[in-house]
Structure 1
Amino acid sequence: MDKKAVDYSLYLVTDRELLGNKDLAATVEEAIKGGTTLVQIREKNVSTLDFFELALVVKQIAGKYNVPFIINDRIDIALAIDADGVHIGQEDMPLAVARKLLGPTKIIGVSASTLEEAVKAQDGGADYLGVGAVFPTRTKSDADHVSLAALRRIKEGVSVPVVAIGGIDKDTIQRVIEAGADGAAVVSAIIASADPYQAACNLRHIIKK
C-alpha cells in the first residue's frame, strides 16, 4: 500500500454496540460501496480471539475493494493479520515503539487534541492525525473537546493529513471540511444507520461538494 496515496476523506470507525441487529461485516461492505475510503476496526470489550477473527473478516472485505484497513490500538492484532496499520491514542503504545514493531511501510495514525500533541506526533513519524472530539460524541465519553478553530490551527501547524473525529454526521461534516480537515471519521452516522450504504453516499456527496 502506497501510504502517500491514502484517501482519508471518509474514514469509518466501527462500533458493534451501535449496530442493532445488523452484521458488522455486511455493514462495512455497504459503507465501502457507498464511498467509505478507509476502515478502522475498534473493539474495546472483546477477547483477543474474537477481535482477531473479526479483524480477519473485515480485512478481507476492505481488501476486496482496495480500501486501507487499520486496527485501533492493538498492535498485536495488526501484526497478526498483517493489517495496513494502526491508530493509537495518547495513552496507548508510544509511537516510536509502534513504528519499530510495525516497520516503515505501515500506516500509523495518532490521536491529538492540541497543537503540541499534533506536532509531537508528526515529528515522531505519524502518517496522519485523528483530531477531536470536534462535537459531542456518545461513542467516547472521555474525549477532549477540540473546537473548529483549534482544528484549523492544528491543520495549519502540521503537514500530515488531519482527520477530524467526534460527533460527525451529515449535519456537521461540512463544517470540519471547511475548517481544513483532510477527512472526517464517522462512527454512528454510518454504523447506527438503517441504511449504511445510503448514509455513506450522503456523507461522500457532502465531502465532494
Structure 2
Amino acid sequence: MANLPAPPSKPFPHCPDRLGLYPVLPSADWVERVLDHGVKTTQLRRKTTDSGDLKQQIERSVAAGARHYAQVFINDHWREAIKAGAYGVHLGQEDVETADLNAIAEAGLRLGLSTHGYYEMLKALHFKPSYLALGAVFPTTTKVMPTAPQGLSRLTRYVRLLDGVVPLVAIGGIDGSVLRQILSTGVGSAAVVRAVTEAADVPAAISALQHEFAR
C-alpha cells in the first residue's frame, strides 16, 4: 500500500492459529492470577507514565508467562517488552508506523495488530503480523473506539476472508453472554476485559469462558 514503511526483513514469529480465551489486563497481579487459573494467552495493557512501575509490571508478567508456558503480549510498550523478553507485543494502528518493527522482529517477539474494518486489515497485513485483532465487535467502555461497532455479520465476513491467512482475535464488548455467538463465526480467539476483571467469582468466570472454547 502506498506510503507505508516496508515490513520487517525478518518475519515475525508465528503464534498458535487459535489463541483461545485472551484476557486483556491492567496489571501483573491480574496476569499472574489468570495464568494461575489456566489461561494460556493474555495481554498486559498497563496505562502509566511511571517507567519504574512499567518495567516491574512487564517483567513480572513475562516471568509469569514463562512459568506457565503461556503467551503474554505487552500492549504498546515494545521497547520494554523487548528488554524483558516478552512473548509478543500488541500495537494499535496509530503505533505501527512509529514503532521499530524491525527491532521487534529481530528480538523474536510476535506482533499483534488492532484493526477496525477492511482498510486497516489490509494495512496491517502488509506488515505480516503474527495475529490480527478484529473489532470492536460490540460497544465497549474500556477505551474510546475510532469506529462504530463491527457486529457479528461483519466479523463473520472477516473470518471467511482471513481464516487460514493469519490468526484472528475478536475484541470489543465480549463477555460470557455473547461468547458463543462470537465463536460461531469460526474465529479462534476472543479478547475479554470486564468479563474477567469485574467478575464476582474470577475462577468461575474463567472456567465458564474456557468451557465455551472447548464445546
* TM-score w.r.t. length of structure 1: 0.86
Among 6, 9, 14, the residue aligned to 1:3: 14
Query: Contact 1:13/1:41 (CA < 8 Å) preserved in 2?
Result: yes
CA displacement, residues 110-157 of structure 1 (integer Å, 9 cap, x when unaligned): 001112221331232111111111111111133522111111222222
How do residues 125-164 of structure 1 correspond to structure 2 at under 5 angstroms?
125-144=128-147, 145-158=149-162, 159-164=165-170
How do residues 172-191 of structure 1 correspond to structure 2 at under 5 angstroms?
172-191=178-197
Query: Contact 2:159/2:186 (CA < 8 Å) preserved in 1?
Result: yes
Partner letter of residue 198 of structure 2?
A
Partner letter of residue 103 of structure 2?
L
Q: In the alignment, is residue 82 of structure 1 matched against residue 85 of structure 2?
A: yes
SS in 1 for 2:82: helix
* Gapped regions of structure 1 (runs ≥ 5): 17-23
Structure 1 pair 117–14 and aligned structure 2 pair: CA distance change class (3 A): same
Matching residue of 1:12: 23
Aligned residues: 199
* Gapped regions of structure 2 (runs ≥ 5): 1-12
How far apart in 2 are the matches of 1:154 and 1:94? 23
How far apart in 2 are the matches of 1:115 and 1:14? 27
* TM-score w.r.t. length of structure 2: 0.84
Query: Contact 1:7/1:37 (CA < 8 Å) preserved in 2?
Result: no
Structure 1 pair 5–90 and aligned structure 2 pair: CA distance change class (3 A): closer
RMSD: 2.0
Partner letter of residue 116 of structure 2?
S
Q: What is the CA-CA distance between 1:6 and the residue it aligns to?
A: 6.2
Q: In the alignment, is residue 40 of structure 1 matched against residue 43 of structure 2?
A: yes
How far apart in 2 are the matches of 1:167 and 1:118? 20
Structure 1 pair 161–6 and aligned structure 2 pair: CA distance change class (3 A): closer
Q: What is the CA-CA distance between 1:39 and the residue it aligns to?
A: 1.4
Matching residue of 1:21: none
- Percent of aligned pairs sharing the same letter: 30
Q: In the alignment, is residue 60 of structure 1 matched against residue 63 of structure 2?
A: yes
